[in-house]
């Protein structure tokens, strides 16, 4: 099995990747201040945005998004699955697919975010695209509580990015940081709590906490008391004599500088240690009622320590309020600046534009987790919440699979973004002049970056988020044309979301990174279109209530041998299919739901008895070693809900505290199952289970004898 090693720190992964590739990074910009660039292998016009040009780029993007007909997006991440068993499987139920997407979005980082507004220009009969490539990095700009950010890196994903010459140095050093809405609210709440107390009381508590424990401290405080007293007496004499007070730079020494602060005389303290400053604060609070010790930021953003003269208690209170308000505004500015890239997400949300992605459910989950707040625990809660922020989302992969003609032309399994782009937008995608491997585009597209325009590109920039967002938008435009939408008749400023040809496809997204269930973001429910999935034809119809989860069995056992063990007891047709989660766990789908509870109870009985007869039982090969465990399908959901991600499924089950060897359907479910038959039949069922522990009766035949009516109908 292909193992995917995970590392905690990106730097460790970079070290690993740098040993496997000689050209690990490329510079996508000629300098960090450049607003647009082309890679060495591509002539594609692309606006690269880092923290150095983010403010100006955001200002331009606001106008472009406001004028856009739709905005396409794409994300580059540090990984997809935190463990092999967390990959998306055909045996995953609707709610479990969401839990796996949730785990991925919570554990991995987004390192590049592509945003490409598309606007129809009726005078040119063409779309104007403005691709933006944002480098982002979860740098902790302000203390928001807890440890610094952590994220996983999947070596296959990092190697993939390195293969396409992703600039990791640019990302780490120049990437735009961000705060989610939840983090911003938490930071503001902490700020509110910090400034609820009166600033004078805060300084007083600080002074009282400073103890004089050394003779040197006592001598220093006495000297400071005398110097501060001399300075204050000088102020009072100047006022009484009517002479004008003068600022001075040489009072006492360079450590004391007389200045004005908010129209009040003040003493600026220079060159003292932090301990000495606390002692000066103690002296001021204890001995001088009309002097106030404060800390403020100077013009160069350095912290200044001041002793300010006040005329009265009212003047003192007014000064402290002014200082507190100023400090609070400074902190609020810091928090606002730390919001960073989330301003782009807020822009997309507030403008309510049609958001276009390709197989984008995971992308949207990342957007929610990184920039909005914690992901809800269920898919229903999540889609309800995300629909409020982004009411119009369209998935080009859903569009491609929904159109029978396009699906037939593109053939099975070729709806990846790069293949769809090459087929539908061949004139744009082709790097060889004159090559026409796909359809001629029905819709023209022109790229514009600042004042630079381009209509000729090659595909050397693919797997950069900005370029992939551009490809997604181009594919969407061509598919719309195939669906019968005529952009040439498209009136200016017409909302695409109101078009009846598109409305039935809006807010339908694949729930996983493989073709699978389709979820409707408006309702949180699966749609009828979910039935189309060519992968599922490899297996019999999946019935989740018929599935038993088995893990911890001997590693030498293969799926065929597990089937044989079970079939010897339950009959040759009792097992519909077996599917490996990883090398330590399998799904077993029985042909009848009753077999699940019978198997679990039989396994429990054999392990409890542990006698010579049990050793000779056909299931003994499966139970060898005493570590085999089994559970109903519902337990699989419990495992996937955990934030822990061990590499092997068996270790995962152990890590979340699963100590028992068998988890039955549950007491209520088992009671219901037993009550479904009368007492005599229940007795027969118990007898069957006992007999199975010492004989090779076929459960299929026995159960049919217990349910004669059902058996006749099935025939």
H/E run at residue 161? helix 155-163
Beta carbons within 8 Å of 689's beta carbon, 6+ residues apart: 598, 601, 602, 605
Q: CA distances (Å), 688 to each of 371, 570, 610, 664, 693, in order?
A: 57, 11, 18, 18, 9
Q: Rounded distance, CA 131 to CA 631, Å? A: 50
Beta carbons of 417 and 356 less than 8 angstroms apart: no
Q: What digits encode the pLDDT tens for the residues 273-286?
A: 988 998 999 999 88
Q: What digits encode the pLDDT tens for the residues 563-588?
A: 999 999 999 999 999 999 999 999 99
Q: Rounded distance, CA 371 to CA 672, Å? A: 45
For the ranges 22-36, 129-143, 430-444, 520-534, the one whose mean pLDDT is highest: 129-143
pLDDT at 607: 87
Domain 6-179+340-535: CATH architecture, name and number where available: 2-Layer Sandwich (3.30)
Beta carbons of 35 and 56 less than 8 angstroms apart: yes
Closest CA to 206 of 155, 270, 281, 118: 281
Q: Rounded distance, CA 464 to CA 470, Å? A: 10
Closest CA to 589 of 578, 597, 605: 578
Instruction: Flag whether pLDDT at 33 surpasses 70.
Output: no
Predicted TM-score (pTM) of the model is 0.80
Residue 477 CB burial class (10 angstroms; 0-12, 13-18, ≥19):
buried
Beta carbons of 689 and 614 less than 8 angstroms apart: no
The DSSP call for residue 573 is T
Beta carbons of 364 and 388 less than 8 angstroms apart: no
Whole-angstrom distance between the N-terminal and C-terminal Cα of the chain?
42
539-714 belongs to which CATH class? Answer: alpha beta
Q: What are phi and psi of 158, to 5 degrees?
A: -65, -40
Beta carbons of 307 and 269 less than 8 angstroms apart: yes
Q: Rounded distance, CA 707 to CA 710, Å? A: 6
pLDDT at 206: 60
**Residue 214 banded pLDDT, cuts 50, 70, 90:** confident
Characterize 614-624 residue by residue with b for buried, 16 or more Cβ atoms within 10 angstroms of its Cβ, and e for exposed.
Answer: beebebebbbe
Q: What digits encode the pLDDT tens for the residues 147-188?
A: 678 999 999 999 999 998 999 999 999 999 999 998 999 889
Map out the domains of the chain as residue ranges.
6-179+340-535, 199-338, 539-714
Q: What digits encode the pLDDT tens for the residues 78-89?
A: 999 999 999 999
């Amino acid at each position: 099995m292909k193992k995917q090693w995970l590392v905690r720190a990106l730097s460790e992964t970079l070290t690993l990747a740098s040993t496997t590739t000689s050209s690990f990074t490329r510079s996508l910009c000629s300098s960090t201040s450049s607003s647009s660039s082309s890679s060495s292998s591509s002539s594609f016009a692309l606006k690269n945005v880092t923290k150095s040009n983010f403010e100006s780029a955001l200002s331009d993007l606001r106008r472009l998004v406001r004028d856009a007909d739709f905005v396409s997006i794409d994300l580059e991440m540090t990984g997809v699955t935190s463990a092999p068993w967390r990959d998306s499987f055909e045996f995953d139920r609707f709610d479990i697919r969401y839990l796996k997407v949730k785990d991925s979005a919570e554990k991995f980082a987004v390192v590049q975010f592509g945003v490409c507004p598309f606007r129809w220009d009726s005078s040119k009969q063409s779309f104007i695209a403005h691709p933006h490539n944002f480098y982002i990095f979860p740098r902790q700009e302000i203390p928001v509580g807890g440890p610094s950010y952590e994220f996983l890196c999947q070596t296959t994903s990092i190697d993939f990015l390195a293969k396409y010459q992703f600039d990791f140095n640019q990302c780490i050093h120049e990437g735009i940081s961000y705060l989610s809405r939840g983090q911003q609210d938490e930071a503001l709440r902490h700020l509110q709590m910090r400034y609820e107390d009166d600033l004078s009381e805060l300084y007083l508590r600080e002074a009282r906490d400073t103890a004089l424990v050394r003779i040197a401290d006592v001598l220093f405080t006495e000297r400071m008391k005398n110097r501060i007293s001399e300075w204050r007496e000088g102020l009072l004499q100047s006022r009484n004599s009517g002479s004008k007070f003068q600022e001075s730079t040489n009072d006492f020494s360079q450590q004391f500088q007389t200045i004005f602060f908010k129209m009040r005389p003040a003493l600026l303290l220079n060159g003292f240690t932090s301990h000495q400053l606390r002692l000066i604060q103690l002296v001021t609070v204890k001995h001088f009622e009309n002097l106030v010790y404060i800390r403020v930021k100077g013009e160069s953003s350095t912290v200044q320590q001041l002793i300010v003269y006040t005329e009265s208690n009212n003047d003192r209170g007014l000064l402290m309020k002014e200082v507190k308000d100023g400090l609070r505004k400074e902190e609020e500015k810091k928090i606002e600046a730390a919001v960073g890239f989330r301003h782009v997400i807020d822009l997309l949300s507030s403008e309510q534009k049609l958001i276009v992605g390709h197989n984008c459910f995971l992308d949207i989950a990342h957007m929610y987790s990184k920039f909005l707040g914690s992901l809800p625990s269920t898919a229903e809660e999540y889609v309800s919440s995300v629909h409020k922020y982004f009411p119009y989302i369209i998935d080009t992969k859903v569009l491609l699979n929904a159109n029978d003609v396009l699906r037939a032309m593109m053939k099975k399994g070729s709806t990846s973004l790069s293949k769809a782009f090459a087929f539908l937008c061949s004139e744009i995608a082709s790097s060889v002049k004159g090559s026409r491997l796909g359809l001629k585009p029905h819709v023209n597209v022109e790229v514009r970056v600042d004042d630079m325009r381009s209509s000729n590109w090659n595909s050397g920039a693919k797997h950069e988020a900005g370029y992939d967002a551009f490809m997604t938008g181009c594919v969407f435009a061509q598919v719309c044309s195939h669906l019968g939408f005529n952009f040439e008749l498209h009136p200016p400023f017409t909302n695409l979301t109101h078009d009846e040809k598109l409305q039935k496809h809006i807010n339908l997204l694949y729930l996983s990174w493989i073709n699978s269930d389709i979820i409707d973001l408006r309702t949180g429910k699966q749609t009828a279109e979910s039935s189309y999935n060519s992968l599922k034809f490899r297996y019999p119809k999946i019935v989740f209530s018929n599935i038993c989860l088995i893990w911890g069995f001997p590693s030498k056992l293969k799926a065929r041998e597990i089937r044989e063990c079970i079939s010897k007891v339950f009959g040759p047709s009792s097992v519909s299919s077996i599917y490996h989660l990883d090398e330590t766990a399998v799904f077993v789908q029985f042909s009848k739901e009753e077999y699940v509870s019978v198997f679990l109870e039989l396994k429990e009985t054999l392990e409890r008895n542990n006698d010579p007869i049990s050793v000779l039982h056909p299931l003994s090969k499966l139970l060898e070693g005493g570590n085999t465990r089994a559970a109903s399908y519902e337990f699989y959901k419990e495992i996937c809900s955990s934030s822990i991600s061990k590499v092997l499924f068996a270790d995962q089950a152990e890590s979340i505290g699963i100590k028992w060897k068998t988890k039955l359907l549950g007491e209520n479910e088992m009671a219901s199952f037993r009550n479904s038959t009368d007492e005599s039949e229940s007795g027969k069922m118990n007898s069957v289970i006992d007999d199975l522990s010492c004989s090779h009766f076929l459960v299929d035949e026995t159960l049919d004898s217990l349910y004669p009516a059902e058996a006749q109908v099935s025939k």
